[in-house]
Structure 1
């Protein structure tokens, strides 16, 4: 009897031990504490092992482990945490933002299943150069920006600029803030902060592929001044009707790309794009390090396993011959050119070109020559420490493409999934705006941002002058701050009235504050088309303007604070937060809610900088 009893006890213990050691699948969602925004690209590892996974675009993960194991959850810019696996196999985690500068990251290596939604990797720790404000280890490069000033409407009634749909500055600023660093002023291109967000402008209804929408109200940070809001909406082409794509992924695999937020993130970002492709689309992969080479010849878009397998095999090492890679990518794109289609090279790099053709000027010449072939160039920036924003921005601008900075998988999801058409399919190219202000109502004006996009007034009519492109569904927003006639402002220098410039009877009788002229070309044409829209002031109070107006104004005001602009007037972080929170509108992906969090984070870091400066 005792023998049977002990056997029974032994069997129960054995079954319990087996249950404890049997692998189980743990799933869950990793999100940001407070906002509950899912964190794409967060890492989940079994403690004291090299087994782990990353979250997908919705913050979801799945990992095989054992009951009793501890899971470590981490994401760049957030405090790591751990959870013990018990009887509940669904473990959701909310990570808190970490204001401490990044000192160490994990370098992801290994090979994933071609069609896996979430992959498991082996991990090795690797030191990351500190990004201190003194720049001791920081070799990042940005173009110097001199802010646009106020102009006298009587003496300079015309202002001309190229539109800009680039959004790289916003995600780059976000990266720095999440690492506990207040961004340097030249990192902050205000128009890219404003244009990071989509605005629900009505679709074009007439013959033109772009519609203009305007509002005028009071400036929230300069009492007595006004703010003119110009919103452009490109027509949205349904995905099923988009032309076929001939894409060449141009991937930097040099040694500087061997960081977790570089080549491993590049691979996952491109996989998201591959999932959007159709059978009539084609993809080739070109890589460059010390030399350039073809990894994958042009392949139909529905061969996802083949394309992803080629991406998975990429590894980093060597110097960076970017110029040679660009030439080879264009060559392959031209060999597989689709007439009437979307022919595009997509460059993924940190911009640290250091072999062969590597200067900004030389690279610009290559791209300007190659764009004549009808192949566009889009640029994706990755990484930190040695990032060369100046080169990346120039390549995108001169290559008739767009420029994004990918700081995490969620941003890749935004660029390649949510904005798929706008990112890849151009509906209007060389888009220019020219505004004429009526001195009867406007004493002075200033364009907020777009410093790198200003044009000479005579270049508005020059069809040879390159300008920005708009993709399917893209929105572009521009803000002018206006000094009304009769209002004195220290922003506008005193100049004597001109002797011969007198208002005409026509301008005196007009109730138009300004006129907007827009010039653009069809994607397959070199001859521009023109239309114009007059703008009147309906004297709408600021709080009765649209959510589009108020949210864009909040983002612009934040940009003025980040740049410590001489034109920021009475701008405050508190006011930015209040305006933004009252203008969140529809925010299905949580981008506007994330903006409010970043403003609060910037406010905290700005205060620390002020305290540190006082102590010095």
Structure 2
């Protein structure tokens, strides 16, 4: 009886303590300008529980009245706040002016040596050299407290699995974060020579999370090389882009291209800048940077599924030229108005997906989508590694727990048979095809296919055949260091689909939350644009971006030629820089007079700058429909949206090292973006401004 009383006392005490826990929210800003700071680590002191601020500087965390919240961010002084009775705690961080001599920079955060020395296990170079190791992971076995190294096979050169905090975290994907010479590393540790290592420090518990936030929840392994500047191999692949030149309207007045609603380039570039990396020029697709943002075009008012909008202003970076904006706004449907969906998740679970920013990010990202499914929607899951297989047969959206369980059970390992996975996913999607419904395969991968059909050309041939089934495709890229952007873009382009890059949960929420309909429901396919410039008013023009979406002029009226798709609520923006007639320009070279051909300009249409034609097909149609829009010669004062899109285009050209941005400064980008910030409910424009400022500080 006495024991029973003690048990009841313990239970009641535990319930009382649990009941005291409450939800705390707030905003973190910089003290000197009151601008919200994204990515601030908010940790319950003395625990591993924490979160990070979003793009608006906001956070939400559960804590008890006696808890203390610690706010930390690189370059700023950490702040501690007692919870007590507060439900909202706002913090303004001060810039940290402490001398660097007393600070150890270990990644995206700073700490003193004293702060983490007592909770870290250090393996010195002498210990590593004392035995012959084939890779860095094996050198930690038996040398660092709380570190378990699991050899997945006895074969030489195979990867070892590292788990921190003992066997309790062996089950599930618990890969620690590796940081080499201060830079997070996402590659294969077996490629690093153990003899290059000076020391390896293992951070656990609060020492890891206080510095690296949620990324350090599975522990952090800090590797320091003898040289201190280890060059990380980067096997990311991007298609080479040759920038569009100016074309003379008197000789080639037509400009023809396919629309592009992909936005992967922006989130990938954002990831590079936030990681302090050099932005690779070919990773920057101007059209995808521009189309990441919504420009508040009006909804269509006629029988067509999109509205057409245009604007002409003086070019912000060149006062002798004009900037033309052409915008499409797809009709927006509410989620409940969308037809029933037959979705097949095709998920890469190969060994290359084992990193924290791949499969570990993929799972919660897909959960955002699952939570929005309706009873009439069905989901299947196909996975592929060395082979492909079905892990979930078609399951109704009202059985969300079953779908979520299947996602939670996914583990990474093996080679990458992407072609086989695509074959199986389409076979399953076709078997359960919904007539008049939304039939789509959603592929999630880093694009590193290495078994079976794997090259860009093989992928193109495969996916062109599969699109005949009427099943659409969405392609989601994850991770870096081995990211195959060119292959994923090819798949999305040729598979009647779209391509996004998920670098964090914020982006997952944008793709699967705010843009759910556009991601899944196509309202128009094979959308082509052809602009005819009036040579009387336009001496030359240049399409800014869309280099890999160009079409031959005759393709515009050829209904067998594939083009881009437009989803519910999607917008498409295209920009041209125009050189007016009679203006001398360094961009134009003299051309010889033609002997057999004479160009004649129609003297009519004095008030027209250009005519733009659009062709599209209905999602299940085979014959295209044409729309026409005429732009006058009027030059208007730039709208707020025009200022902002100009800022994004200019910054993109700077990153691409373009020869056409007229040496405009980064401060010009910031000025344009500030003038175009306007109403920014989601904070994406504010985030862009902070991104530009961060990039400027890196250079």
TM-score class, shorter: 0.7 to 0.9
Q: Which moved more, 1:89-98 or 1:466-475?
A: 89-98
Q: Distance in 2 between matches of 1:321 and 1:460?
A: 36
Change (3 A) 1:569 1:547: same
Equivalence for 1:27: 23
Match of 1:501 among 598, 601, 617: 598
Task: Name the structure, 1 or 2, with higher relative contact order (CA <8 Å, separation 6+).
Answer: 1
**1:223 deviation in Å?**
2.2
Which residue, out of 126, 135, 155, partners 2:251? 155
Are the counterparts in 1 of residues 70 and 81 from structure 2 also a CA contact under 8 Å?
no
Does the 8 A contact of 1:201 with 1:231 survive in 2?
Answer: yes
Distance 1:217 1:97, change over 3 A: farther
The change in CA–CA distance for 1:66 and 1:448 in structure 2 (over 3 A counts) is same
2:643 pairs with 537, 545, 550, which one? Answer: 550
Q: Which moved more, 1:91-100 or 1:492-501?
A: 91-100
Structure 1 residue 47: Cα displacement: 5.9
Displacement of 1:182 in angstroms is 3.0
Give unpaired runs (5+ residues) of structure 2.
Answer: 1-8, 97-104, 111-161, 174-213
Post-superposition CA distance 1:106-131 (Å, at most 9, x none): 9999779xxxxxxx99942355999x
Indicate which of 401, 405, 414 corresponds to 1:318: 414
Whole-angstrom CA distance in 2 between matches of 1:375 and 1:548? 35
Kindly tell me: are residues 483 and 411 of structure 1, through their superposed partners in 2, closer, same or farther at Cα, counting changes over 3 Å? same
Counterparts of 1:144 and 1:80 in 2: how far apart (Å)? 43
Deviation of the 1:83 alpha carbon: 4.4
Shift of 1:52: 5.8
Structure 2 residue 265 is the aligned partner of structure 1 residue 176: no
Distance 1:261 1:97 in 2: 29
Asked if the contact 1:421–1:473 (Cα under 8 Å) also holds between the matched residues in 2, the reply is yes
Confirm or deny that 1:331 pairs with 2:327. Answer: no
1:580 aligns with 2:677: no
Q: Secondary structure at the match of 2:242?
A: coil
Alpha-carbon deviations, 1:519-565, whole Å to 9, x = none?
1111001111112111112122xxx2222222111110111111121
Counterpart residue number, 2:204: none
1:140 counterpart = 2:136: no
Deviations for 1:379-422, whole angstroms, at most 9, x for unmatched residues?
11111111111111111111111111111111111111111111
Q: Distance in 1 between matches of 2:77 and 2:417?
A: 37
Are the structure 2 counterparts of residues 401 and 150 from structure 1 closer, same or farther at C-alpha, using a change threshold of 3 Å?
Answer: same
Shift of 1:72: 6.4
Separation (CA, whole Å) in 1 of partners of 2:77 and 2:381? 35
2:222 counterpart of 1:125: no
Say whether 1:565 aligns with 2:658.
Answer: yes
What is the number of residues matched between the two proteins? 576
* 2:378 aligned to which of 282, 303, 306: 282
What secondary structure sits across from 2:218 in the alignment?
A: strand
SS of 1:124 mapped into structure 2: coil
2:351 is aligned with 1:255: yes
SS state of the match for residue 224, structure 1? coil
Deviation digits for residues 421-442 of structure 1, max 9, x if unmatched?
1111111101111111111000
Q: Which residue of 1 aligns with 2:84?
A: 87
Do structure 1's residue 449 and structure 2's residue 545 form an aligned pair?
yes
Residue 240 of structure 1: how far off its partner (Å):
2.1
Question: CA, structure 1 residues 282+416, in 2 after alignment: closer, same or farther (shift >3 Å)?
Answer: same
Q: Residues 330 and 569 of structure 2 are in contact (CA less than 8 Å); yes or no, is this contact kept in structure 1?
A: yes
* Alignment correspondent of 1:309: 405
Match of 2:159 in 1: none
Contact 1:25 1:89 in 2 (8 A): no
Aligned residue number for residue 193 of structure 1: 289
- What's the CA shift string for 1:122-165, capped at 9, x where partnerless? 942355999x9996411111111110000111111111100100
CA distances 1:329-387 after superposition (whole Å, capped 9, x unpaired): 11111111111111001111111112222212112211111111001110111111111
Residue number in structure 1 paired with 2:557? 461
Instruction: Say which is worse superposed, 257-266 or 482-491, in terms of deviation.
Output: 257-266
Which region of structure 1 is more displaced relative to structure 2, 489-498 or 405-414? 489-498
Q: Distance in 2 between matches of 1:57 and 1:294?
A: 37
Structure 2 distance, partners of 1:223, 1:494, is 22
Q: Match for residue 444 of structure 2?
A: 348
Structure 1 residues 83 and 26: CA distance shift in structure 2, 3 A: farther
Deviation at 1:270, TM superposition (A): 0.7
Alignment check: 8 A CA contact 2:28 2:53 kept: no
Q: Where does residue 613 of structure 1 map in the other structure?
A: none
- Alignment pair present for 1:213 and 2:210: no
Shift of 1:29: 3.9
Q: Cα deviations across residues 236-286 of structure 1 (Å, max 9, x unaligned)? A: 223222111111111111122122211121111111111211111111111
Displacement of 1:502 after TM fit? Answer: 3.8
Is 1:269 matched up with 2:365?
yes
1:233/1:473 contact within 8 Å kept? yes
Shift in Å at residue 28 of structure 1?
A: 3.1
Task: Check whether the contact 1:109–1:121 (CA below 8 A) recurs between aligned residues.
Answer: no
Q: Please tell me whether residue 602 in structure 1 is matched to residue 695 in structure 2.
A: yes
User: Does the residue aligned with 1:396 lie in a helix, a strand or coil?
Assistant: helix
Q: Could you tell me how far apart the structure 1 residues matched to 2:222 and 2:361 are?
A: 16
The structural deviation recorded for 1:204 is 1.5
Residue 456 of structure 1, CA deviation: 0.9
Instruction: Tell whether 2:321 aligns with 1:225.
Output: yes
Partners of 2:77 and 2:95 within 8 A in 1: no
Question: Whole-Å Cα distance in 1 between the matches of residues 609 and 328 of structure 2?
Answer: 19
What is the Cα deviation at residue 92 of structure 1? 5.6
Unaligned runs of 5+ in 1: 1-13, 113-119, 608-616
Question: Deviation at 1:313?
Answer: 1.4
| Compared CA separation, residues 28 and 348, structure 1 to 2 (3 A) | farther
* 1:373-392 pair list within 5 angstroms: 373-392=469-488
Over 3 Å counting, the alpha-carbon distance change for 1:193 and 1:122 in structure 2 is: closer
Confirm or deny: 8 A CA contact 1:27 1:89 kept in the other structure.
no
Quote the residue 2:116 is aligned against.
Answer: none
User: Hey, what's the Cα distance between the residues in 1 that align with 2:381 and 2:37?
Assistant: 30
Which residue in the other structure is 2:577 paired with? 481
Question: Contact 2:24–2:62 (CA<8 Å) still a contact in 1?
Answer: no
- What is the alpha-carbon distance in structure 2 between the residues aligned to residue 243 and residue 203 of structure 1? 20
Q: 1:15-34 CA distances to partner (integer Å, 9 max, x unpaired)? A: 9xx89x94552533476644
Distance 1:246 1:518, change over 3 A: same
Is the contact between residue 511 and residue 536 of structure 1 (CA under 8 Å) also seen in structure 2?
Answer: yes
* Contact 1:148–1:449 (Cα < 8 Å) also in 2: yes
Q: Distance in 2 between matches of 1:97 and 1:252?
A: 42
TM-score norm. by structure 1 comes to: 0.85
